Amino acid sequence: ERIRDLGIEIGVLPTGTLNSITDVAGVLVGHTTLVKGDSVHTGVTAILPHSGNIFQQKVPAAIYVGNGFGKLAGITQVNELGNIETPIILTNTLSVATAMNAVIGYTLNQAGNENVQSVNAVVGETNDGYLNDIRGRHINEEDVLKAIENASVGPVKEGNAGAGSGTVAFGFKGGIGTASRKLPESLGGYTLGVIVQSNFGGVLQIAGVPVGKELKQFSFSNKLLNNVDGSCMIVVATDAPLDHRNLERLAKRAFLGIAKTGGIVSNGSGDYIIAFSTAEANRIPYSTRDNLLKQEVVPNDQMSPLFMAAIEATEEAILNSLFMAEAVKGKPGRNIEALPLDKILPILKKNGVIKD
């Protein structure tokens, strides 16, 4: 169950209808999940800012590096030009290049892109090599294209889905999670959604309760958990009309959401936040006839509610990724349990997070 179904609330702002990144109108998400025997637990998750030709109608975007131990592709062009021109792909560490090739092929082959000679694929990853035979590089280009084709509006499958198939967080099974916030009209009325691929360590906190500490299961508490590394990929979408600069600031707030779940952004964690705006008026056409782009942007001093929304939604998306994940029997000798709800729910009740 998702955390709200269990009575756990994060923050003070209301969620969107689905409590999902797809509450941001137009955003699509698709998965390819690869499970073969015990040794293959990996996959691909695709996030599309809109259903049109993204290369022709780029979206304002920014990528913030929380901790750069990662292989994310596309960052320098996104931050130089301020936009994203392809679907965003999440996968495993050693499959970034394959995903790039797939995205490039996808873009070159789209109607209208016949003369395109340069494509900036945005691909993020976390390392699912604890459970998955990552060295086998089982993802192929078809898997990536299928995730793009699968992308749809509506509810997003969480937990062991897509790129979250084989990930581990806080020593438990992690995976894909999502959440959203809808600002009241007085604060702009914007919707902001987050999707995460959780695969990192620290001292698990659920709605503030130091569950990892109470379970005596946290980073550096024993040898098993000494390897806190892994990564957290975060994608933030909003319909607020933001330019690159304020999207970068927004992405930085999502980074703070990691901390609220107890993440410590360890040395070997590749923590990146990709943020984009779906505001149609601010799309950047590939071919501009006009000498000037007309834009409407949220002023700096109205950004803070969006910042709050990004922190809350990220925290909640990470928790959803854990609560929705299921135990996995992985590579020989590598099993990871799901969150032990039997132990955790009583702690949350005792601490007043779940009301009786």
Alpha-helical regions (H) of 191-291 = 211-214, 244-260
Token representation of residue 254? 């999502």
Distance CA 113, CA 252 (A): 33
Of 111, 135, 154, 224, the one binding a copy of itself (CB under 8 A) is 135
Contact (CB, 8 A) for 273 and 255: yes
Distance CA 192, CA 233 (A): 17
Q: Which of residues 297-326 bind a copy of itself (CB under 8 A)?
A: 297-305, 307-308, 311
Contact (CB, 8 A) for 89 and 74: no
The sign of the torsion formed by the CA atoms of 208, 211, 216, 218 equals negative
Amino acid identity of residue 242, one-letter, is L
Q: Which of residues 29-88 bind a copy of itself (CB under 8 A)?
A: 65-77, 79-82
Q: Which of 39, 266, 269, 277 is catalytic?
A: 269
Amino acid identity of residue 297, one-letter, is V
Of 131, 209, 317, 339, the one binding a copy of itself (CB under 8 A) is 209
Q: What is the C-alpha R_g of the chain? A: 19
The CB-of-65 to a copy of itself minimum distance in angstroms stands at: 5
Of 111, 267, 332, 333, the one binding a copy of itself (CB under 8 A) is 267
The CB-of-338 to a copy of itself minimum distance in angstroms stands at: 22
Among 18-26, 191-199, 283-291, 338-346, which window interacts with a copy of itself (CB under 8 A)?
Answer: 283-291
The Cα diameter of the chain in Å comes to 63
The reply to whether 356 sits near a copy of itself by the rule CB under 8 A is no
Among 17-25, 110-118, 147-155, 172-180, which window interacts with a copy of itself (CB under 8 A)?
Answer: 110-118
DSSP character at residue 103:
H
The CB-of-155 to a copy of itself minimum distance in angstroms stands at: 27
The CB-of-118 to a copy of itself minimum distance in angstroms stands at: 5
Annotation marks residue 266 as catalytic: no
Distance CA 208, CA 257 (A): 12
Of 25, 155, 220, 346, the one binding a copy of itself (CB under 8 A) is 220
Residue (37 or 346) nearer to a copy of itself, CB: 346
Distance CA 18, CA 277 (A): 19
The reply to whether 97 sits near a copy of itself by the rule CB under 8 A is yes
Among 44-52, 145-153, 157-165, 247-255, which window interacts with a copy of itself (CB under 8 A)?
Answer: 247-255
Annotation marks residue 231 as catalytic: yes
The CB-of-19 to a copy of itself minimum distance in angstroms stands at: 18
The reply to whether 154 sits near a copy of itself by the rule CB under 8 A is no
The reply to whether 343 sits near a copy of itself by the rule CB under 8 A is no
Size of the residue set binding a copy of itself (CB under 8 A) = 101
* Strand-by-strand arrangement of the 28-36 sheet: 28-36, 40-48, 88-92, 122-126
Q: How many CB atoms lie within 10 A of CB 214?
A: 15
The reply to whether 111 sits near a copy of itself by the rule CB under 8 A is no
The CB-of-293 to a copy of itself minimum distance in angstroms stands at: 5
The reply to whether 225 sits near a copy of itself by the rule CB under 8 A is no
Q: Which of residues 174-203 bind a copy of itself (CB under 8 A)?
A: 187-188, 202-203
Token representation of residue 143? 């898997």
Instruction: Please give the sequence-ordered ranges of beta strands (E in DSSP) within 23-116, or none if there are none.
Output: 28-36, 40-48, 57-68, 83-84, 88-92
Q: Which of 231, 266, 277, 321 is catalytic?
A: 231
Q: How many CB atoms lie within 10 A of CB 135?
A: 8
Annotation marks residue 152 as catalytic: no
The CB-of-23 to a copy of itself minimum distance in angstroms stands at: 20
Residue (52 or 210) nearer to a copy of itself, CB: 210
Distance CA 241, CA 283 (A): 10
Active site residues: 231, 269, 271
